[in-house]
Amino acid sequence: MNGHASSYQPGVWVIEAGGRIDAMHAPVLEAALQRALAQGKYRLLVHLGQARYLSSHSLKALLVARQKARSHGGDLVLCCTPPRVQEILEITGLTQILSLYESEEEAASALASV
């Protein structure tokens, strides 16, 4: 799991999350999200292009970070979700809660207007 965060465009921060984000690796994602939020980065784009699996712990980390970002006028969105990850999000009902975009560009554009 890569918990790397970088600026995509002014005010939009990309966190790349790849591999199996299971109970062992979810804390890395959670720490990357919390670190960004602690630094006042409230428009978060989580790039899941290299993700193969999301555990319930990683889903919770995404939801908690989204809630905090929104409470500060920002948001958290996902992009580039592979079919297996998309299936997990659909089964859990999170496609009704989290905003998903096909490309990083679309996601960043949506966040820029927040």
**Which is nearest to 98 in space by CA: 40, 52, 45?**
45
Q: Classify residue 14: in a domain, yes or no.
A: no
Residues 6+ apart with CB under 8 A from 85: 48, 51, 52, 53, 54
Determine the structural domain holding residue 55 and report its residue range. 21-72
Reading the chain (114 residues) residue by residue, the pLDDT tens digits are 555 555 556 789 999 999 999 999 999 999 999 999 999 999 999 999 999 999 999 999 999 999 999 999 999 999 999 999 999 999 999 999 999 999 999 999 999 888
Q: Classify residue 42: in a domain, yes or no.
A: yes
Q: Classify residue 28: in a domain, yes or no.
A: yes
Q: Classify residue 53: in a domain, yes or no.
A: yes
Question: Count of domains in the chain?
Answer: 1
Q: What is the dihedral of CA 41, 17, 106, 73, to 10 degrees?
A: -20
Q: Classify residue 44: in a domain, yes or no.
A: yes
